[in-house]
Every structure is written in C-alpha cells, then in structure tokens.
Structure 1
C-alpha cells in the first residue's frame, strides 16, 4: 500500500507504507490517515532529524531493517539474493529526505501536511 503526503507548500511525497511506517512511528502518527499541522512541523522535523542521525550512527541496524523488508516483499518474487539486496540498500536517511524537505516547507509556509484523505 502507498502513503501519499500532501501539502500546499510542496509537491506530494509518496512512499510504500512499510517505509512510511517508521517515520510515522517516530512522529506517533497513524499510517492510515493523519495530519501534521504547521505548528507541529518544527517538532516533527527535529524528531525525524534525530532519527536520521541515529540511523547514520548505527547503519547496521538500518541496513538490517531495510533488508528484512526487502527480503520479505521482493526476494522470492525476483529470485534476488540477499547479497544483491544489501548492495541495493536504500537507507532511512534517503527515504526520509523528501518528507524532511516537505516538513521544512510546511513549517516555513505555515501549511499542514495530510495523508490518507
């Protein structure tokens, strides 16, 4: 399932729910439907930046989490090896970057971010 984040201050950001889940867990938000108000955007930005920093300090945890998701969803269908999956790893920082930019724009523009509507 896809989650599409929308805001008047920036283009839409779409990601798989399993990738958005970690971000929304950090923000204590429901993946099905929600809002980050302009007033919450600054705090949400800080929380996500801290999580990105932690993922960079402990890349082995980030790699393991991402690889397990990839293995569970794609390896059997594509016949891909775990070694190749690790080579194509996309880290949390890379996945979170578009939403971080959206949060900055929402904070600066005074706009809300919504999803699931």
Structure 2
C-alpha cells in the first residue's frame, strides 16, 4: 500500500506504507492518517536528521547480512542471485525530509491519508 504526503510547501511525496511507518513512528504519528503541523515541522526535521545521521553510522543491517549468507555460504555460492542493492533509510526519508523543511520554512502543514 502507498502513502502520499501532501503540503502546499512542496510536490507530493509517495512511498510504501512500510517505509513511511518507520518515519512516522519516529515522529509519533499514525501511518494511516495524520498531520504534521507547521509548528511541529521543526522538531520533525530535527528528529529525521538525527536518525539519518545515526543510520549512516551502520552501513549494513542484520537483514542484509542474512540475505548475503542465504545465497553465499560454505555449502553453496549462488552466482545467479541478483546483486544486493541497498536503499538506505536516508535515501527513503530524503523526499519527505525536504517536504518537511519546506513546510517548516513556509509555515505549512504536511498531511497524509486525508
């Protein structure tokens, strides 16, 4: 399922619900429907920037390591398996972070699920 964020400050941002949930959980918001007010935007930007900085310190997660070992280990080496393409939290969060910055600077709300 997709979530579309809207604001008068920027173009729409659409992402998968599972990816939006992680961001919205950090902000204490419901994934199905909600608003980040212009007054809340500065804190939301700060929280996302902090989380992006933190996630950049940890390049590969345990999930990625499990995927690697599932296809390449002592018993087998799956050469036909696609190479890993890691999409970081920073990459996923960036469009919404930019919207939040514009909303903060322009004094607009960010809405989804309405």
Q: Fold match, TM over 0.5?
A: yes
1:41 alignment counterpart: 41
Match runs of 1:7-26 below 5 Å: 7-26=7-26
Q: CA RMSD in A?
A: 2.0
Where does structure 1 lack aligned partners over 5 or more consecutive residues?
69-79
User: Is 2:86 aligned against 1:105?
Assistant: no
Structure with greater Cα Rg: 2
1:88 alignment counterpart: 85
1:74 alignment counterpart: none
> How many correspondences in the alignment?
101
1:77 alignment counterpart: none
Q: Which has the higher helix share?
A: 1
Question: Equivalents in 2 of 1:22, 1:50: separation in Å?
Answer: 14
Where does structure 2 lack aligned partners over 5 or more consecutive residues?
68-79
Return structure 1 stretches of 4+ with deviation > 3 angstroms: none
